[in-house]
Structure 1
Amino acid sequence: MVAGEASGDLLAGLLLQGMRGRWPDLTSFGIGGPAMEGQGFEAWWPSSKLAVRGYVEVLKHYREIIGIRTALRDRLLADPPDVFIGVDAPDFNLDLEADLKARGGKVVHFVCPSIWAWRGKRVEKIRRSCDHVLCIFPFEPELLAKHGIPATYVGHPLANVIPKEPDKDAARVRLGLPPDAEVVTLLPGSRVSEVASLAGRFLQAAELLQRARPQLHFVVPAVPGLRPRIEAAARTAGGLRNLRIVDGHSHAALAACDVALVASGTATLEAALFQRPMVIAYHMNWLTYALMQPRRLQPWIGLPNILCGEFVVPELLQANANPESLAAALLEWFEAPARMVAVREKFRTLHTLLERDTSQRAADAIEKVLSR
């Protein structure tokens, strides 16, 4: 298995949990993180090595990433596993999967690359690389079938682990937050490049927001290893009171908050499953953004908006992701309680749509691939 970054590790850990229920003697190895290791996974390299996003950003780590992929490919070709499962990370996994499949290996890809959002031509590479795709969104198997790619909708694993009625009071006790306070959770990303670009903007926005609502409390769940960067950004922002930076606990932080400011990515879907109003933001290298823009196929980048087919929550990108605009967008939520109720209802419906027995469905699909 190969999972890149924290979100892929989380999904793969949930998948492994179900697979071990089907195959108690399962052994798994490759590239992964702590959630996978908690399921007995042997990580030859940590998933953090692949946690790079964007064309320009990847160039800085290109030689190391290609070296890891070559070494992993050679090792797997020399001693083939029963099945290879690439978890997201399509830029890394699809080429590796194509090499393994060409040599007779059985390949499953978990999380359909977002060909419906951008880079639609990638579908040809998916067909060459995979025996089967496990899809986390219900419309994807039909789209892949049009291109001759076998796929199964397995639901989104997070919809099974995030409660439909989050316990805000318990989460606040766990994080040491006042039960009656207004709380904003800040999620500036899980990659070094994201935190470097967004943490300062998010914390400056928090300081501006606190001027308008002085009693606000703020929580920032820090990915392991990135806390010092967030703390440095907090010192630079200055003047921010009632700030808690915690190690991990992103789900508790989302359960505890009233509104969230979230970097575009899987965390936006987590926030939606916790039924939290949010502002989605992103900022990347200008050249990366310029290269990606022409390949976008939809007006939205945030998963909640894509799945709902409308701008349910605001998205602020690039120059618009400035502290003043972020603070203003967050303040609008607090000033519109009826809007907050309406978006929670939309997100509750979305939760039901994504909730399936993911472990069972995924294991069934993998078993069929193994039996061919």
Structure 2
Amino acid sequence: MNKCFYLVAGEASGDILGARLIRELKNYFPKATFSGIGGPLMMAEGFQSLYPMERLSIMGIVPILKRLPGLLKMRNDLAKHIIEQNPDCFIGIDAPVFNTGLEFRLKHRGIKTVHYVSPSVWAWRENRIHKIAKSVSLMLCLFPFELEIYQRFNVPAVCIGHPLANEIPLSPNTTQARQALKIKPDNLTLAILPGSRGTEVKFLLQPFIETAQNLLQHYPKLQILIPCANYKRRTQIENYLTQLPEAMPVTLIDGQSRLVMQAADLVLLASGTATLEAMLLKKPMIVAYKVSAFSYWVFKKLLKIKQFSLPNLLAGKAIVREFIQQDCTAEKLTEASINLIENKNNLSLEKEYIELHQTLKLGGSQKAAKAIVDLIAH
């Protein structure tokens, strides 16, 4: 009998993980079917997306509240459909607010549920672990430090490492990336990644562009590259750039964010999975995050950690500069950028990056697929 899997991914990083996982599961079950909510990479693997993934890509309290009725209806309709189909397994990829509620309902109807990418219960709102325990048959963690809380609350969990750690070599080739993008090999290059969500770009693009304008005064030959996560983000970025008083030498690139970071001397980016990629690519980086004042007020009260970027969390100390909310200004970002550019000796940072890279090479998608196969078998 052919296996049936349902997956839900909420944003671009989840689409990447989902596509790789589908590919690995096909090695075990070549005729399996895959449906749910996903993006173009998952669909390229034969996945059937029942709703546009963009509907789940929301950040901040107010935007979520505005779209809550629609999201709840979509989740309810999807739950009914999945229960009717009775798949061998449901796999929620990140998107914890949407997926945990869905997993809770499915598990209580006898469907095995896997959550891929641990919610940040170790960072804020630890009490969510009780709902997770009732919702998830298996938690797939990307980072070793995440296992402790699941062991403490007797939730089955496996650390699979991060798939990117297996894909990205320990010594990436910057020259090769610049040749692929057909950009000048010797000029100082800045990569700007303001995020894949519309709300991220809304809050971060302005300070990032102003920082680039400041840097151009110090480094007139600076090359500025911005990878656009999708067509909507490209349009959003283009609209902002066309409103500037003076044109800027900015090159917009569709997708290829990893290649863009690989080509860069410095990366200015939103907190998230991209910071892990920048670390694995061994790039000096500056991490920023900004949301609405109300969302930040709520998050700050619930936050348990002092540092928020993945490189710092993995290292257990500050190895990259972070700027959040009111500290995310062009002045502070510019100062930090110049300090990194002028620091000719980044060997100690690169050494830290390599050590962290090696701790994450645990099998990634292959190990995730094997854990899911074992869950189904038992």
Same fold? TM cut 0.5: yes
Quick one: distance in 1 between partners of 2:275 and 2:370? 29
Check the 8 A contact 2:141/2:159 in 1, yes or no: yes
Check the 8 A contact 2:145/2:314 in 1, yes or no: no
Determine which of 18, 26, 50 is the counterpart of 1:20. 26
Q: Post-superposition shift, 1:130?
A: 0.3
Tell me which amino acid in the other structure corresponds to 2:257: S
Q: Post-superposition shift, 1:149?
A: 0.3
Tell me which amino acid in the other structure corresponds to 1:306: L
Asked if 1:173 is matched to 2:191, the reply is no
Determine which of 358, 365, 372 is the counterpart of 1:359. 365
Check the 8 A contact 2:15/2:42 in 1, yes or no: yes
Check the 8 A contact 2:269/2:287 in 1, yes or no: yes
Determine which of 103, 108, 132 is the counterpart of 2:109. 103
Tell me which amino acid in the other structure corresponds to 1:202: F
Tell me which amino acid in the other structure corresponds to 2:369: A
| Closer, same or farther: CA 240–322 of 1 in aligned 2, 3 Å | farther
Asked if 1:201 is matched to 2:207, the reply is yes
Determine which of 263, 269, 278 is the counterpart of 1:271. 278
Q: Post-superposition shift, 1:240?
A: 5.5
Quick one: distance in 2 between partners of 1:293 and 1:15? 34
Determine which of 11, 17, 21 is the counterpart of 2:17. 11
Unpaired runs of 5+ residues, structure 1, are none
Q: Post-superposition shift, 1:239?
A: 3.9
Equivalent residues in 2 for 1:140-219 (5 A)? 140-219=146-225
TM-score in terms of structure 1 length: 0.97
Determine which of 334, 339, 342 is the counterpart of 1:332. 339
Asked if 1:296 is matched to 2:303, the reply is yes
Q: Post-superposition shift, 1:336?
A: 1.1
Check the 8 A contact 1:210/1:240 in 2, yes or no: no
Check the 8 A contact 1:54/1:284 in 2, yes or no: yes
1:243-292 Cα offsets, whole Å, 9 max, x none, are: 21111010110110011001011111111111111000111010000001
Quick one: distance in 2 between partners of 1:236 and 1:346? 41
Determine which of 231, 253, 264 is the counterpart of 1:257. 264
Quick one: distance in 1 between partners of 2:285 and 2:34? 37
Check the 8 A contact 1:200/1:237 in 2, yes or no: no
Check the 8 A contact 2:150/2:157 in 1, yes or no: yes
Quick one: distance in 1 between partners of 2:314 and 2:124? 15
Structure 2 match to 1:56: 62
Q: Post-superposition shift, 1:141?
A: 2.5
Asked if 1:116 is matched to 2:118, the reply is no
Structure 2 match to 1:34: 40
| Closer, same or farther: CA 125–3 of 1 in aligned 2, 3 Å | same
Residue 153 of structure 2 aligns to a residue in which SS?
Answer: coil
Q: Post-superposition shift, 1:11?
A: 1.3
Quick one: distance in 2 between partners of 1:19 and 1:278? 35
Quick one: distance in 1 between partners of 2:55 and 2:174? 34
Quick one: distance in 2 between partners of 1:353 and 1:326? 30
Determine which of 69, 73, 76 is the counterpart of 2:79. 73
Quick one: distance in 2 between partners of 1:65 and 1:348? 41
Structure 2 match to 1:83: 89
Quick one: distance in 2 between partners of 1:56 and 1:179? 44
Structure 2 match to 1:282: 289
Tell me which amino acid in the other structure corresponds to 1:139: F
Check the 8 A contact 1:262/1:280 in 2, yes or no: yes
Quick one: distance in 1 between partners of 2:146 and 2:308? 17
Tell me which amino acid in the other structure corresponds to 1:154: I
Structure 2 match to 1:315: 322
| Closer, same or farther: CA 296–80 of 1 in aligned 2, 3 Å | same
Deviates more, 1:144-153 or 1:233-242: 233-242
Residue 243 of structure 2 aligns to a residue in which SS?
Answer: helix
Q: Post-superposition shift, 1:360?
A: 2.8
Identity of aligned residues (%): 38
What is the root-mean-square deviation of aligned Cα atoms in Å? 1.3
1:101-144 Cα offsets, whole Å, 9 max, x none, are: 01111101111111111111111111010001111111223320
Q: Post-superposition shift, 1:20?
A: 1.3
Structure 1 match to 2:239: 232
Q: Post-superposition shift, 1:236?
A: 3.4
Structure 2 match to 1:343: 349
Check the 8 A contact 1:94/1:129 in 2, yes or no: yes
Unpaired runs of 5+ residues, structure 2, are 1-6
Determine which of 240, 249, 260 is the counterpart of 1:242. 249
Quick one: distance in 1 between partners of 2:242 and 2:281? 30
Check the 8 A contact 1:207/1:239 in 2, yes or no: no
Deviates more, 1:88-97 or 1:346-355: 346-355
Tell me which amino acid in the other structure corresponds to 1:267: A
Q: Post-superposition shift, 1:334?
A: 0.7
Quick one: distance in 1 between partners of 2:66 and 2:227? 27
Q: Post-superposition shift, 1:154?
A: 0.8
Quick one: distance in 2 between partners of 1:242 and 1:26? 48
Structure 1 match to 2:8: 2
Check the 8 A contact 1:19/1:359 in 2, yes or no: no
Residue 178 of structure 1 aligns to a residue in which SS?
Answer: coil
